[in-house]
Structure 1
Amino acid sequence: MPEPVVLSLPFTGRWLVQNSPARRVPSHGVELYGMRYAIDFVGVDERHRTSPVRDWRTVLTTEPPERFVAFGRPVLAPGAGVVVHVHDGEPDHEARRSPFALAPYALGQAGRVRQGPAAIAGNHVVVALAGRRAWVTLVHLRLGSLRVRPGEEVAEGQVLGECGNSGNSTQPHVHVQVTDSPDLAVARGLPTAFRDFRERPHRGGAALERDVGVPDERSVVEPLAAGPAGS
């Protein structure tokens, strides 16, 4: 296996880790669209809630994406490089926590896959990382929030857009993956790790400060260089 591509976390504040390659590979259960080592981050508040609101809609139906902590948070370049592809125009659809809403959505998964990468990734940015033949893609961005264009050089930490709920997403989150090609239709995933972050284990215990690593499933992470926790 090649050495992992090491990135910075593409955000500030606290985020819950889901579909981590530390738990399994392929992390999302499929090899499609370069997702072998992809990882998801869901924004949380100081109480580690993805949304401070729970009501009848949470139990029975869909919810507006604006209810969720992650929605609209800035998404940052996790490494320096050149933007090679930008896709915008996909709507931010309703979020789903209810089993009644999740079941029919899951049944539509095959249809979304047949529609191609845009239906899965939603609004997204692909950056060719400086110094190595690898491309990082940031997925499910908010409609109309993208701030970069193809050919633009970006610095690590530069704002690329905002977290949204576009594409194949049940609630607002950021999906990050590194691949050997910018073309998601043929790309293969590359191992990925992150630098300089604090990790709070899902099972409790003291927070860990990690120089380089892959955060565990259901842990909560934040960059060490970030401002006040939960910002």
Structure 2
Amino acid sequence: MIEAREPIIVEFPLRGEWLSPNTPGTKIPSHGTDQLGTRYAYDFIQVDWERKGLPAYRVSLAQYLLFGVPLNEYYCFGQEVYAPCDGIIVKSEDGYKERGRTNLLLDMSNAYKNAHYFDPKKDDIQSVAGNYIIMECGDHVYAGLVHLQTGSIQVSVGQIVKKGEVIGKVGHSGNSFAPHLHFQLMDSSDISTANGLPCAFEQYEVFQDGEWQKVVNGIPTDKDRIRFGSF
């Protein structure tokens, strides 16, 4: 049983404060499916912790619902993404265009279509993953960093990278409701057939009872206000 496997420990792939609305710390499968290696996957966004509803964008809720939101109005858009481990780049796919703004109905339609009709045997994986990087972190352990900003990927196939190196930026490419980083560990470099692997982060902080508390080898929940690195 894969559930019995101890989580693989990697470094948190972002800096600053984040929220994980989809996380194996709250439910498994975290994205409601085992397909495409997503069983233990995380999504990370930045939000305004002082505003009702914790919006991920600077504009009003009405503008979001009626007109959509330009990507640069999202707090996390363009934030740097860091290598979660020492490893080698085995896939690096850039050039998939992002829509210029989010659109609730269109994005929901795309998500439904990909969830129900995507066929990995004939459909382009970039229609789901957008711009993405896959790193080999160890023996049969691969990290996927997905939905990256178009033109932001700074690594190429075969490149050896060190943990903590900047490798790309958070974007909105592929099957994405809003700018975010999708992060997962897998047993294969082929997203279309990979199985997800459980993953925890070697350290980060959680804001509890008015102060930041250190967490070691932790798996955040969808309620945790987390931060790591540069504050």
- Calculate the TM-score normalised by the size of structure 1: 0.88
Counterpart pick for 2:40 among 34, 37, 41? 37
1:21 correspondence with 2:29: no
Contact between 2:95 and 2:151, CA under 8 Å: does it hold in 1?
yes
Shift in alpha-carbon separation, 1:110–1:197, aligned structure 2, 3 A: closer
Could you tell me which amino acid in structure 2 is paired with residue 15 of structure 1?
A: W
Measure how far apart 1:200 and its partner are. Answer: 2.8
Gaps of 5+ in 1: none
Measure how far apart 1:85 and its partner are. Answer: 0.4
Shift in alpha-carbon separation, 1:85–1:112, aligned structure 2, 3 A: farther
1:123 maps to what in 2? 131
2:67 maps to what in 1? 61
Measure how far apart 1:220 and its partner are. Answer: 1.8
Could you tell me which amino acid in structure 2 is paired with residue 85 of structure 1?
A: K
Note the aligned Cα RMSD (angstroms).
2.1
Could you tell me which amino acid in structure 1 is paired with residue 133 of structure 2?
A: V
Counterpart pick for 1:6 among 4, 9, 31? 9
1:165 maps to what in 2? 172
Measure how far apart 1:60 and its partner are. Answer: 1.3
Could you tell me which amino acid in structure 2 is paired with residue 179 of structure 1?
A: M
Measure how far apart 1:102 and its partner are. Answer: 5.1
1:62-101 aligned at under 5 Å gives the runs 62-96=68-102, 98=104, 100=105
- Calculate the TM-score normalised by the size of structure 2: 0.88
1:209 correspondence with 2:217: no
1:108 correspondence with 2:103: no
Contact between 2:154 and 2:166, CA under 8 Å: does it hold in 1?
yes
Q: Percent identity?
A: 32
Shift in alpha-carbon separation, 1:183–1:103, aligned structure 2, 3 A: closer
Task: Give the Cα separation in 2 of the matches to 1:77 and 1:71.
Answer: 18
Shift in alpha-carbon separation, 1:178–1:207, aligned structure 2, 3 A: same
Query: Residue by residue, what CA displacement relative to the aligned partner does 1:70-120 show, whole Å, maximum 9, x if unpaired?
Result: 11110000111000001111112245475x555534443347723342211
Contact between 1:112 and 1:120, CA under 8 Å: does it hold in 2?
no
Measure how far apart 1:32 and its partner are. Answer: 0.9
